[in-house]
Chain A
Amino acid sequence: MRLADLRRTTSFRLAVLFLLLFGVATTLLCSFIFMQTRNYLDRRAEEVLREELFPFRGLNAAELHQLLAAHVAMDPHARRPITLFGPDGAYLAGSQLGSSHFQIMAEPADRPFAFTLQRDGQSVQFRGVALTYPGGQRLLVAQDMAGAQAFRGLLLDSTLWGGLATVVLGLIGAVAAGVGAVRHIDRITRAVRGIVRGDLSGRLPTRGHVRELDQLAHEINFMLGEIERLMEEVKGVCDNVAHDLRTPLTRLLAGLERARRRAASVDEYEAAVDEAMQEIRGLLKTFAAMLRIAEVESGARRAGFTAVDLTQVGADVVEFYEPMAEQKGVALGISDGASVPMQGDPSLLFEALSNLVDNALKFTPSGGRIDVRVFSDDGGQGFEVSDTGPGIPAEQRDAVQRRFYRAEQSRHTPGSGLGLALVSGVAGLHDMRVRIEDAKPGCRIALVGPRGLQG
């Protein structure tokens, strides 16, 4: 990680931007407070001056001199000087203002003014008010502003230090945020490179400093999970296609070779050809089923959706399979119900339900029963098939919906292992879910979709 990277991170830039904004706002606020405080202090000082001036109005000379003498005694260092000047501006009585020349007569009467005096080699700021007596004499009431000045300095200093601390802390924060973001991105980059190299089980780190980034990483991880699942399914399908096709092809070849070797009569040859044709039909059926699943999963058949009554489809399927169930000694029934309309592909729904009934017939022993139920309630609408067969163990319920999956115990029953994959494809096409439950005993498979979605 280089400094240039840091400077480019959004976190860092945002932090600096906020720092700037905050700085400007703080400066404005502090200036305002500073001005207001200063004005307030000035006004307050002036009021005090006026109040102090008040007792000196309308006094005769004797009273005035007495009062001045009392003041000098109280304030020997002339921090709050009160001085009487003659009409020519010469000192008459009261506090000594020191050596500096001060033109009291030039200042306006009854209005506060500022002036500076030299004291012990230092300039000291004063604020004063003058009162003019009828004889032309002038009384100055003034106040040393050193205290106010010190306060002002303190205020300015604290504002500046505070500002500096804000800037430093803000910059540290910005760098920290930027570094965090850069590190997080680095971790994500490493994870992505790992995935690109082929480790599909890798996931993006989701515990960084940036919440939004974490959320995004979560979503991407979910997507990666899906991709991994699909890749594994594709791999599984390829393995199974290879296996499931090799077996009948081997049988086909063996049968033909046997005919070539042994068949002596036309009848024997014909039998071998028939056998070969049977194998090839089976192979073609498997291919057709795979293509159909691909077609269904691509969603292209949604274009052919029409209004379908699930109850009618259910009744048709049950009627279609009735003779077969009868032959097997299994009771096949459908519960009566009101019509359940939806938008869909009637042939595919028929095929999906047929597959379920067909499976149930395959696995239900003689004397058992299979119930088809078309339902529409608060939980959704759809159909379910329950049987009294061996059921599907909980851990295999997801697997049976995959292409070519065949439970160990059903390896030797006829079938392509594609039936439930097709059912699950048809369900997906119709926004339905496949739900496999334990019917105790037996198995209950339902296709459930949102209720009345398409009315």
Chain B
Amino acid sequence: MTRVLIVEDDPKTAKEIMAALSDHGFAVDSAGTGREGVLKAAAESYDAIVLDRMLPGGLDGLGMLATLRSAGIETPVLILSALSGVDERVRGLRAGGDDYLTKPFDFLELTARLDVLLRRRSSAPQRETMLRVGALEMDLLTHTVSHAGKPVELLPREFRLLECLMRHAGQVVTRTMLFEEVWNYHYVEPTNVIDVHIGKLRRKLDPDGSRPIIETVRGAGYILRAAG
């Protein structure tokens, strides 16, 4: 079972995060201070750490992260912060964070991003030339896609959109994640425009609507399922 450590000083927020992560199927531990967080992270092995930036006591989030990294603990860390500035985000990632999420956030966004972190860790990046999800095949060299043996014509951006969904097949990919990965801009509210792109992609993959493979997760994003 995937084990996640939550370092968060506000007990109510910690409780909500723990509840959301257990519902998602993770085993969750929590720590209230940076010091406690370092001790727990060093003593036991976690698959991921969710870290609040603002922590009471001498050791704040970034300080704790630096301590962990200097001690050689490379557990993926997702930073939570009320500070939304881009420079804050850059500082967090530079300090050794693997992802950065601004409060307030949707729990679906949190779990989706954690899934990505965990996946990234378990499967070392390999040079794939073919992606396969169910009947869907994508050739990364020739930039061709076929569904159930039939070729699908995609525009370059649609290709990258589908590639992103296929790489995270079976996981929720939020709109923000899609936007950041496919368009390479950091932008908070691209929501309904992404839906239109997905809609177009859906129609191309499944013109008669008989075999829907991209599911919408309400209020959060999309998931590509390996349907028959």
User: What is the interface size of chain A, counting residues whose CB is below 8 A from a CB of the partner?
Assistant: 29
8 Å CB interface, A78-97 against B: none
| CB 8 Å contact bits of B185-216 with A (1 = contact, 0 = none) | 11111101100110110000000000000000
Bound-state CA distance A346–B192 (Å) is 21
Nearest-neighbour CB distance to chain B for A270, whole angstroms, equals 11
Given contacts A281-B219, A347-B186, contact A291 B193 (CB under 8 A): no
The answer to whether the Cβ of B141 comes within 8 Å of any Cβ in the partner chain is: no
Bound-state CA distance A303–B87 (Å) is 8
Nearest-neighbour CB distance to chain A for B179, whole angstroms, equals 9
Contacts of A323 in B (CB 8 A): 193, 196-197, 199-200
The answer to whether the Cβ of B157 comes within 8 Å of any Cβ in the partner chain is: yes
Interface pair B86/A277, CB less than 8 Å apart: no
Given contacts A274-B218, A319-B157, A347-B186, contact A304 B86 (CB under 8 A): yes
Interface pair B183/A321, CB less than 8 Å apart: no
The answer to whether the Cβ of B125 comes within 8 Å of any Cβ in the partner chain is: no
Given contacts A277-B219, A300-B85, A346-B185, contact A327 B196 (CB under 8 A): yes
The answer to whether the Cβ of A320 comes within 8 Å of any Cβ in the partner chain is: yes
Given contacts A284-B104, A288-B188, A351-B187, contact A324 B196 (CB under 8 A): yes
Interface pair B90/A347, CB less than 8 Å apart: no
Interface pair A295/B85, CB less than 8 Å apart: yes
Contacts of A319 in B (CB 8 A): 157
Nearest-neighbour CB distance to chain B for A6, whole angstroms, equals 56
8 Å CB interface, B84-119 against A: 84-87, 90, 104, 106
Q: Which of B84, B189, B190, B196 lies in contact with A291, CB distance below 8 A?
A: B84
Given contacts A284-B104, A321-B193, A323-B197, contact A300 B183 (CB under 8 A): no
Contacts of B87 in A (CB 8 A): 300-301, 303-304
Nearest-neighbor residue (CB-CB) of A281 within chain B: B219
Bound-state CA distance A206–B221 (Å) is 62
The answer to whether the Cβ of A316 comes within 8 Å of any Cβ in the partner chain is: yes
8 Å CB interface, A293-310 against B: 295, 300-301, 303-304
The answer to whether the Cβ of A144 comes within 8 Å of any Cβ in the partner chain is: no
Q: Which of B90, B193, B218 lies in contact with A324, CB distance below 8 A?
A: B193
Given contacts A319-B157, A323-B197, contact A347 B86 (CB under 8 A): yes
Bound-state CA distance A346–B184 (Å) is 10
The answer to whether the Cβ of A292 comes within 8 Å of any Cβ in the partner chain is: yes
Contacts of A351 in B (CB 8 A): 185, 187
| CB 8 Å contact bits of A269-291 with B (1 = contact, 0 = none) | 00000100110010011001101
Residue pairs across A and B with CB atoms within 8 Å: the count is 57
Interface pair B84/A292, CB less than 8 Å apart: yes
Residue with the highest number of chain B CB atoms closer than 10 Å, among A323, A347, A351: A323
Bound-state CA distance A301–B84 (Å) is 11
Nearest-neighbor residue (CB-CB) of B198 within chain A: A323
8 Å CB interface, A349-403 against B: 350-351, 354, 358
The answer to whether the Cβ of A345 comes within 8 Å of any Cβ in the partner chain is: yes
Given contacts A301-B85, A304-B90, A345-B86, contact A354 B187 (CB under 8 A): yes
Bound-state CA distance A40–B219 (Å) is 110
Given contacts A304-B90, A320-B193, contact A292 B188 (CB under 8 A): yes
Bound-state CA distance A289–B84 (Å) is 11
Bound-state CA distance A320–B104 (Å) is 26
Nearest-neighbour CB distance to chain A for B11, whole angstroms, equals 22
Interface pair B187/A295, CB less than 8 Å apart: no
Q: Which of A284, A303, A304, A350 lies in contact with B187, CB distance below 8 A?
A: A350
Nearest-neighbour CB distance to chain A for B155, whole angstroms, equals 9
Interface pair B84/A295, CB less than 8 Å apart: yes
Nearest-neighbour CB distance to chain A for B176, whole angstroms, equals 12
Nearest-neighbour CB distance to chain A for B39, whole angstroms, equals 34
Contacts of A274 in B (CB 8 A): 218-219
Q: Which of B185, B192, B218 lies in contact with A316, CB distance below 8 A?
A: B185
Nearest-neighbor residue (CB-CB) of B189 within chain A: A285
Contacts of B183 in A (CB 8 A): 316, 320, 350
| CB 8 Å contact bits of A311-352 with B (1 = contact, 0 = none) | 000001001110110010000000000000000011100110
25 contacts between A and B (CB under 8 A): A278-B219, A284-B104, A285-B189, A288-B189, A289-B189, A291-B84, A292-B188, A295-B84, A300-B85, A300-B87, A301-B86, A301-B87, A303-B87, A304-B87, A304-B90, A316-B185, A319-B157, A320-B197, A323-B197, A324-B192, A324-B193, A346-B185, A347-B86, A351-B185, A351-B187
Q: A288-B189, A320-B197, A323-B193 are in contact. List 10 more A-B contacts (CB 8 A).
A: A274-B219, A278-B219, A295-B85, A300-B85, A321-B193, A324-B196, A327-B196, A347-B86, A347-B186, A350-B187
Residues of A in contact with B (beta carbons under 8 Å apart): 274, 277-278, 281, 284-285, 288-289, 291-292, 295, 300-301, 303-304, 316, 319-321, 323-324, 327, 345-347, 350-351, 354, 358
